[in-house]
Structure 1
Amino acid sequence: MKRLALALLLGCVPLPIIAAELVMVEQEGCHWCAQWNAEIADIYPKTDEGTRAPLHRVDLRDLPDDIEFTSPPVFTPTFVLVEGDKELARIEGYAGDEFFWFVLRKLLDENGVPAAE
């Protein structure tokens, strides 16, 4: 919303607004984070899900203040679907690529995150 307001103020054509993002809470030494990185990280931004909710990584020990988590993340990886500054849904842990894609698509659809154009 801030980008749109700034663009309008400056008389510019507004950039597309990203409605949602997927926040990956991770920490150094996390085996499951490493497995997700090996299996998903490179292809994620090239997928429909990656364009619907771009990935934003944060460290478990340095959580951002501008996100209202429904509860503090405890496990890594935890994937938090965020719109604006509010948590919509989350996936705790990583149980393999098929489960990850299935649950993520479900969360995106249930929360009305639009498909990429």
Structure 2
Amino acid sequence: MFRSMIAACFVVLALATPAVAAELVMLERPGCVWCAQFNAEIAPAYPKTEQGRRAPLRRVDVTQDWPADLDGIAPEPFTPTFILIENGKEIDRIRGYPGSEFFWYLLDELLAKLDRATAG
């Protein structure tokens, strides 16, 4: 009985939680000081934020092979670059790390573009 109640709770939670289709792809490279600054200032809190839940962070090392599932996304030599992707399509990108306050502002602008793109 108890197990079936727990299983039912998990089903309700799974149905109530929207599927994540968007992701924020971070292009990085070893030794990138701006990547390290992002990692120190933003990365620990990012998954705990509303933005992080809407667009989970995915890291791509630009010194490695480009992931096959990102073939439709143009690579970028500049790191860090943050690319907001929805269902395999680029919404927009942030080139560089502008500091903690401005990063959140720019990310919110990207997410607003995502809202507009998925509304129509």
Q: Shorter-chain-normalised TM-score: which range?
A: 0.7 to 0.9
Give the TM-score taking structure 1 as reference length. 0.79
Find the aligned partners of 1:89 and 1:110 in 2 and give their Cα distance. Answer: 8
Number of positions where the alignment pairs a residue of Structure 1 with one of Structure 2: 100
Q: Secondary structure at the match of 1:111?
A: helix
**Of 43, 51, 57, which residue of structure 2 is paired with 1:49?**
51
Which ranges of structure 1 fall in alignment gaps of 5 or more residues?
1-12
The Cα RMSD (Å) is: 1.7
Find the aligned partners of 1:86 and 1:66 in 2 and give their Cα distance. Answer: 10
Find the aligned partners of 1:64 and 1:16 in 2 and give their Cα distance. Answer: 25
Aligned position for 1:91: 94
Find the aligned partners of 1:16 and 1:50 in 2 and give their Cα distance. Answer: 14
Pairwise CA distance, 1:95: 1.3
Greater share of helix? 2
Pairwise CA distance, 1:84: 1.5
**Of 19, 27, 30, which residue of structure 1 is paired with 2:29?**
27
Pairwise CA distance, 1:42: 0.3
Pairwise CA distance, 1:85: 1.4
Cα-to-partner distance string for 1:65-110 (whole Å, 9 max, x where unaligned): 21121x3211110100011111111001001011110000011012
Aligned position for 2:10: none
For 1:1-16, list aligned pairs within 5 A: 16=18
Aligned AA (2:90): E
Which ranges of structure 2 fall in alignment gaps of 5 or more residues?
1-13
Q: Secondary structure at the match of 1:37?
A: helix
Q: Between Structure 1 and Structure 2, whose CA radius of gyration is higher? A: 2
Determine whether 1:104 maps to 2:107: yes
Runs of 4+ residues deviating >2 angstroms: 13-16
Amino-acid identity (%): 55
Determine whether 1:72 maps to 2:72: no
Tell me, yes or no, if the aligned pair for 2:78 and 2:96 is still in contact at 8 Å: yes
Cα-to-partner distance string for 1:9-31 (whole Å, 9 max, x where unaligned): xxxx7774212000011010000
